[in-house]
Amino acid sequence: MRELIELDVKGHRLWGTYHAPAPARRGAVGFLFLNPGHVPRSGHGGLSARAADGLAAQGFPCFRVDLPGLGDSDGTLPDTTAELYQFVCGGGFVEVAQAVREELVKRHGLKGLVVGGLCGAATTSLYLADRNPEGIAGVFMFEPEFYLSEQEAAATGGEEAKPEAEPATWRSRLPLRRVTSKLFSYWGWMRMLTRENEYARLFRYVPFPRQLVLDLLMDWGSLPAVANVPLVRAWQRLVERGLPVLVITAEGKLRDIYFDRIHRSAFSDLKLPMVERLRLRGTNHIFTTGGAIDACVGHLARWAAEHFREERAGVAVPQPHVAELHGVAR
């Protein structure tokens, strides 16, 4: 059952949808879906709505909430999409998202929330789990973006990223490799080799050593100049805490390959059993082709049952083995 909800937090009146499970199946851990970029809370192709319906059927209380200025919620947004993107990259929605989490947990008597979503929702959720970990049971990230906007990257001139301002939380013990790569040589080639710019079509019919060039370009041991270093640091701390995390990307696309580079720079060859990494073949960034939405919803439901099912009836359920990062491609 879906129910319209209203939240007054931080001077904002926000609107959302509550997916209520059957009372007999209701669990103590819920799921919170945030806006993917500037898209309303239903998500591209109804991804968030369909995922929440599926999880509610398993007994998980689910919430989709429009942040200020997005969807049905009032608020002021920047004049351009690029400015909004940078606002999200810098964690601009985290304070409001934290207030939403607190209100939902209190209102529905939950032990905690699993937070996440697509693209910008993954960014906000990662920052939230790092800066305000209390009450965060897990994080799910679909097509996460660990890079700055192309506009800001261009402003750096390809030079090293600025040191990030550390939030009031413990710093990761793991070093980050040096920042390298000039913007044009890296970013332009990446977009072409992942077939996400206008030049990519030139190589559909012309023999081209795509994988060889990509391997040479990636420089797996270092971060590129376009890296969102504060977000990478947050990723290190989150993973070191051992929080359950699900990462799903479109195989072979920009964010899929970029995430691999970020992760290898942040963790080298460490084995991370609480991180599950899945790749969806034959789809796009918003999962609207190749049956990816159904696959994504199914993987999320299975992951939720594996990690949070015991919270439903108060009976411990043995945790099954979770695939190591880079170990699964479905």
Average pLDDT over the chain, rounded to whole? 81
Inside any domain, residue 307: yes
> What pLDDT does 203 receive?
45
Inside any domain, residue 319: no
> What pLDDT does 188 receive?
52
Inside any domain, residue 198: no
pLDDT band with cut points at 50, 70 and 90 for residue 299:
very high
Give the C-alpha separation, 178 to 161, whole Å: 9
Give the C-alpha separation, 140 to 69, whole Å: 23
Q: Is the pLDDT of residue 178 over 90?
A: no
Residues paired with residue 141 on neighbouring β-strands, in sequence order = 117, 247
Among the listed ranges 8-22, 44-58, 212-226, 283-297, which one has the minimum average pLDDT value? Answer: 212-226
> What pLDDT does 319 receive?
36
Inside any domain, residue 70: yes
Residue 196: exposure state from Cβ atoms within 10 A (0-12, 13-18, ≥19): middle
* Whole-number percent of the chain with pLDDT over 70: 72
Among the listed ranges 27-36, 101-110, 265-274, which one has the minimum average pLDDT value? Answer: 265-274
Inside any domain, residue 320: no
> What pLDDT does 330 receive?
31
At a CB cut-off of 8 Å and minimum separation 6, what does 202 contact?
Answer: none
| Domain membership of residue 36 as a residue range | 2-181+219-313
Q: Based on the structure, what is the number of domains in the chain? A: 1
Q: Is the pLDDT of residue 56 over 50?
A: yes
* 68-77, 198-207, 253-262, range with greatest mean pLDDT: 68-77
Inside any domain, residue 205: no
Q: Is the pLDDT of residue 269 over 60?
A: yes
Inside any domain, residue 188: no
Inside any domain, residue 43: yes
Q: Is the pLDDT of residue 315 over 50?
A: no
What average pLDDT does the segment 231-252 reach?
95
pLDDT band with cut points at 50, 70 and 90 for residue 23:
confident
Q: What is the CATH number of the domain that holds 46?
A: 3.40.50.1820
